[in-house]
Amino acid sequence: MTDIPCFMDRGNADIAAGSTLGLQLHFCTRHIVDNVKKNFKGRLTAGLDWQLYKIQRSKCEKHYESQLVEFGANNKDIGSYFRQIPSANWVRYPLLDPNMLYGWRTTNFVESANGRAIPARELHPSGFFIHYMESIMETKFERWDEAQAWIAEGKVITKYAADEYEVERKIQDFCLCR
Query: How many angstroms from the chain centroid is the CA of residue 106?
Result: 5
In angstroms, rounded to a whole number, what is the distance separating the alpha carbons of residues 144 and 49? 40
* pLDDT single digits (tens) 31-41: 888 888 888 88
| Cβ–Cβ < 8 Å for 55, 91 | yes
- Mean pLDDT of the 46-60 span: 82
Identify the H or E element spanning 142: helix 125-153
In angstroms, rounded to a whole number, what is the distance separating the alpha carbons of residues 139 and 27? 28
* pLDDT single digits (tens) 74-124: 888 988 998 898 888 888 777 655 455 555 555 554 555 566 667 777 888
User: Which pLDDT band, with edges at 50, 70 and 90, does 138 fall under?
Assistant: very high
Indicate the pTM of the whole model.
0.51
In angstroms, rounded to a whole number, what is the distance separating the alpha carbons of residues 10 and 14? 7
